[in-house]
Structure 1
Amino acid sequence: MSLSRLLLSPPACRDPEALRAAVAGRPVLVTGASSGIGEAAARQLGAAGAEVLLLARRAERLEEVAADICARGGRAHVYPADLADPEAVRAVAARIGAEHPDLWAVVSNAGKSVRRPALEGAARDDLGRLLAVNFSGPAALLLGLLPGLVRRGGVIVNVSSVSARHVGAPRWGAYQGSKAGFDLWLHALGTEVRGQGVRVASVYLPLVQTPMSAPTRAYRFLPALSADEAAHAALLPLVRPVLRVAPWWLRPVEVAGLLAPGLLASGLARLEEAERRWSRR
């Protein structure tokens, strides 16, 4: 493993047999399954013998992923839905509950990222759109599926970001706020359902090379995980009863945010100004 991978990589399940032992024959829903981390996780689950339920907006792309999983001997079902549409969320949750009453796990991966100053984003309703896709939509979906998960004693995995755990960064307020809000909500829910056998975990990922991160020019020069590497981490809570999966360095960053928030915020502001000067060249 390269030095960059050693510094970036959170704990992960890279053992196909361990994953197979955990998920074979079990229905697992993956949201945001049409590309990136969600697609990679769905393919790994399909190869491990899970019955994979694929949810995302793009029906044609989901059909392609499902067809490939099935061609390789797996089982997959397609559920097109826009998590920003409350009616669509209610409908798809009811359909999944009816067709898969034995649903065992949800990998809540769907999300949207926008990097823009808050005032510029206000005109485009960045905050409203990101709250819908990153918070209220996934929360409504889980609430609709929760009775089945309670019956089965299931697992909910939140595929989150390290940015949900550190101080606010310039141009990332809507993204960080929506991701951090959903993460806190989910773990509050987890304490409510723990006695009913439902387990909740969050996976805090560093930078990952996906279509969502590609538009940010600065990220093209930074070390990043591949979608497959990120998916290995995202699926670890299905194999081991962990509450949290994160790079080793995230805890010190969280502590620094508590002890010296001003210093951390000042450093982020300086990086922002340096990037702006570089982008003007």
Structure 2
Amino acid sequence: MLRRVLLSPPACRDLRPLVAAVRGKAVLITGASYGIGEATARLLASCGAEVILLARSGERLEVVAAEIRGAGGQTSVYPLNLTDLEAVRAVASQIAANHPRIDAIISNAGHSIRRPVLDSTERDDLGRLLAVNFSGPAALLLALLPRMVAQGGGMIVNVSSASAMPPGIPRWAAYQGSKVGFDLWLGSVANELHGRGVRVSSVYLPLVRTRMIAPTRAYRFAPALTPLEAAQSVVYPLVQPMRRVAPWWLKGQQVATLLFPDALDRLMGGAEELVRRLTRRKR
């Protein structure tokens, strides 16, 4: 219980309002083959939504879809690598042709890399994460937005991260940069769509126990939400029209960043220096 209070943003744990909000609606979910996306797909399907599943891993998507159908849910599958912009446009056209309307888009697909910046240049970490976390999801939304506006509106939910807010965290430059970029881009789009029936919400999740964090040893014993707990927060904007869904402490972090930026930067830099020293000693 304490872990949930400390970590969790507002969440839809009572499913009755969610059933009322999504029954019979079509919800598109990216990154739906594992983790938060899979949990969100299963949750929405159990509440009567038709879930449109997108992810790179087509075989895994089919497994998830078969299990959803076996439980009485409605779903369709579109394998898609978001870094392939031509494929993004082609799949968007297929979706538009096959589905009369899309009531909500949950932009969940993403990837993280934790690596010192001096070790990441030859690996093109920034380019790869910008493609997965920014340009790919943006291209998909741009392909589907005209349809959503024409149908009279809909909902876009951006599954973001609490680390998409300052301060800058050492070794997470590519991840933070790509997530912050998409978050700000989508915020600008939301303001441009004001009054046109399309609502936008960003959900800033804390640590979630998924495959994505498994390579980071520091997170093995850190408090984290389960994928289902995260999914309950992801769907919250479908029930409550909130522009931002975040843990209660995130506003305090933002205020501290504004009031004490130099102190926080020194703290982050000092922590990184300590890690380097400890690493050298172990060698």
TM-score between both structures, scaled by the size of structure 1: 0.97
Q: Which amino acid aligns with 2:3?
A: S
Do residues 197 (structure 1) and 197 (structure 2) align? yes
CA drift of 1:101 comes to 3.1
String of CA shifts for 1:209-261, please: whole Å, max 9, x gaps: 00001110000121011111011001101111010000000001011111111
Residue equivalent to 1:111: 110
| Cα displacement (A) at 1:149 | 1.4
The alignment covers a number of residue pairs equal to 280
Where do 4+ consecutive residues of structure 1 move more than 3 Å?
Answer: 273-281
3-state SS of the aligned residue for 1:116? coil
Tell me the equivalent position of 1:239: 239
Output aligned runs, 1:167-178, within 5 Å.
167-178=167-178
Q: Secondary structure at the match of 1:200?
A: strand
Question: Identical aligned pairs, as a percentage?
Answer: 63
Gaps of 5+ in 1: none
Task: Using the TM superposition, give the Cα deviation of residue 278 of structure 1 relative to its aligned residue in structure 2, in angstroms.
Answer: 5.1
* Equivalent residue, structure 2, for 1:155: 155
How far 1:118 sits from its partner (Å)? 1.3
Q: Distance in 2 between matches of 1:192 and 1:122?
A: 35
| Contact preservation (8 Å) 2:32, 2:53 | yes
Q: Contact conserved, 1:104 with 1:152, CA < 8 A, in 2?
A: no
1:144 counterpart SS class: helix
Q: Residue by residue, what CA displacement relative to the aligned partner does 1:106-135 show, whole Å, maximum 9, x if unpaired? A: 000000100011121110110000000000
Query: 1:269 deviation in Å?
Result: 2.4
Note if contact 1:210-1:227 (Cα within 8 Å) is conserved in structure 2. Answer: yes
Match of 1:65?
64
Q: Which amino acid aligns with 1:186?
A: L
CA–CA separation in structure 1 for the residues paired with 2:144 and 2:22: 18
Deviation at 1:155, TM superposition (A): 0.1
Asked if the contact 1:103–1:152 (Cα under 8 Å) also holds between the matched residues in 2, the reply is no
Aligned-partner Cα distance in 2 for 1:28–1:198? 14
Name the amino acid aligned to 2:239.
V
Unaligned runs of 5+ in 2: none
**Could you say which residue in structure 2 is the equivalent of 1:82?**
81
Alignment root-mean-square deviation, CA: 1.2
Q: Render the CA deviation track for 1:136-187: whole Å, top value 9, x for unaligned.
A: 0000000100022112410000000011112111010110010000001001
| Distance apart, 1:276 and its partner CA | 4.3
The alpha-carbon deviation at position 264 of structure 1 amounts to 1.0
How high is the TM-score relative to the length of structure 2?
0.96
